[in-house]
Amino acid sequence: MIELKKSAPRSHRLVILSAAKNPRISLLLLLVLALLCANAPASAQKPASIDGAVSGQAIYNLTAQLLAVAPRRFNGSPGHLAAERFIKDHFKPEAAKGDFETDQFTANTPVGPQTMRNFIVKYPGKRDGIIVLASHYETNYPLRDIDFVGANDGACTTALLISLGQYYRAHPPQGYSVWLVFDDGEEAVQAWSASDSLYGTKHLAAKWYADGTLKRIKAFIVADMIGYKDLSILQETQSTPWLRSLLRQAAIDTHNSAYVFKTEAAEDDDHLPFLQRGVPALDVIDVAYGPLDNQTGDYAYHHTPQDTLDKLSPQSLQVSADLFLEMVRLINQR
């Protein structure tokens, strides 16, 4: 007797029932069923290439390790240098092959010139083009005198990129090249404004415009604050529409639709310098970090000492990893 599964589509159920009634044609009909399942829509099951390929628990553990060695990572601090060493230590194989680049620059900030560094890790693909996955790694400079560690705001997405790098080291891209960007100076140095923010990505977008790299970038995707236990990824309205649509499809494909696009709004983030230069860009961000504080108008854990590891979950980081891997796969299919 062949068990009828509730999840089988109606047409597939008829095939199963027919096979059960006539054993002589069971094998042939089951082969037909296998072909039908192979051609089922992508949303029927998680794509084999991304299902559990990067572990949310491993990302969570990496986040804890980063916070242990570099809890406060504001520019010019010992923690900032420790965070840089942490990143570089995880990419020694890429550095040995010349696929790790340190992009050092001087930013003119409201408190004077500051030395900042972006790190670019390159995984060459087989097609001409680049998909960039980015996250900032530093903590907020104005909050340097409080116990702000940025577990969600910078640490977990740094860990996410490190884990994605480990994946692409073992599974080199078969389509476009994948570049990871750990960018510096996302946060304001004094108070958020168009001129006092996004230092790293502004510098990098200008540099890549000058050397021609920008023309090769198929998509620039930012990860920001996507480890919160109550994950709700914003539909960021400034992002490129086709990339927003692809993120929705990625959520369907990975069975994670419940975590995306419950709300929509514009958010100023590291994708803007690339959008402004004509590069397709997407901000994958959860801004609703904790309960809304009616006094400040902000969410309770954002830019406060409450942005700690206990607010995150391996499950949310698993969702985020699956979404990023699936986004890369879908971009390569366009």
Q: What is the mean pLDDT of residues 179-192?
A: 98
Q: Is 81 part of any domain?
A: yes
Predicted local distance difference test score (pLDDT) of residue 295: 87
Q: What is the mean pLDDT of residues 295-304?
A: 93
Q: Is 1 part of any domain?
A: no
28 and 69 part of one domain: no
104 and 211 part of one domain: yes
56 and 36 part of one domain: no
Nearest to 302 by CA among 313, 317, 318, 286: 286
Task: List pLDDT tens digits, range 187-242.
Answer: 999 999 999 999 999 999 999 999 999 999 999 999 999 999 999 999 999 999 99
CATH number (domain holding residue 83) = 3.40.630.10
The Cα 187–Cα 200 span in angstroms is 10
142 and 236 part of one domain: yes
Q: Is 45 part of any domain?
A: no
The Cα 320–Cα 313 span in angstroms is 11
104 and 23 part of one domain: no
> pLDDT class for 51, splitting at 50, 70, 90?
low
Q: Is 5 part of any domain?
A: no
Predicted local distance difference test score (pLDDT) of residue 44: 44
Greatest mean pLDDT among 23-27, 38-42, 283-287: 283-287
Other Cβ atoms closer than 10 A to 291 = 10
Q: What is the mean pLDDT of residues 139-148?
A: 96
Q: What is the mean pLDDT of residues 111-129?
A: 98
102 and 21 part of one domain: no
247 and 299 part of one domain: yes
Predicted local distance difference test score (pLDDT) of residue 296: 86
172 and 110 part of one domain: yes
The Cα 109–Cα 20 span in angstroms is 74
The Cα 165–Cα 155 span in angstroms is 15
> Which domain covers residue 29, as residue numbers?
10-40
Predicted local distance difference test score (pLDDT) of residue 45: 53
Angle formed at CA 154 by CA 282 and CA 64, multiple of 5 degrees? 130
Number of domains observed in the structure of the chain = 2
Q: What is the mean pLDDT of residues 256-262?
A: 98
Predicted local distance difference test score (pLDDT) of residue 41: 43
313 and 196 part of one domain: yes
Q: Which residue has the higher pLDDT, 154 or 29?
A: 154
> pLDDT class for 47, splitting at 50, 70, 90?
low
109 and 176 part of one domain: yes
16 and 68 part of one domain: no
